[in-house]
Amino acid sequence: MLNISVEDKGKFFNTNLMFALELEFMVDNAESIIHGAITRKESRGAHFRTDMPDRDDENWLKHTLVYHDNSNDNNVRIETSPVKVTKWEPVKRVY
């Protein structure tokens, strides 16, 4: 849990409070990205793992959903949902 304090107790346009709230949201987002990245056993787009450099569409063509969950030790629950391929088939990025 993030523990910070805000010295400015003003009630009008309190930028210190806004920055503290934004920091909390950024930490939540970063933790979600990290847990999702650890769960995926592949590399895809900007998500690249040096230990698994290739895409794995057979097993990982799916959305990764990350939930805050207090019922387990790391407070995170990971689920996946299928990707519905419509107009464009996924292709490997080539630069």
How far is 61 from 90, CA to CA, in rounded Å?
A: 9
Per the confidence metrics, is the pTM higher than 0.85? no
Compute the average pLDDT of residues 12-32: 89
64: enclosing H helix or E strand: strand 62-68
Tokens at residue 41, please?
Answer: 């056993």
Give the model confidence (pLDDT) of 31-80 as tens digits: 999 999 899 999 987 788 899 999 999 999 999 999 988 887 778 999 99
How far is 41 from 43, CA to CA, in rounded Å?
A: 7
pLDDT for 52 equals 92
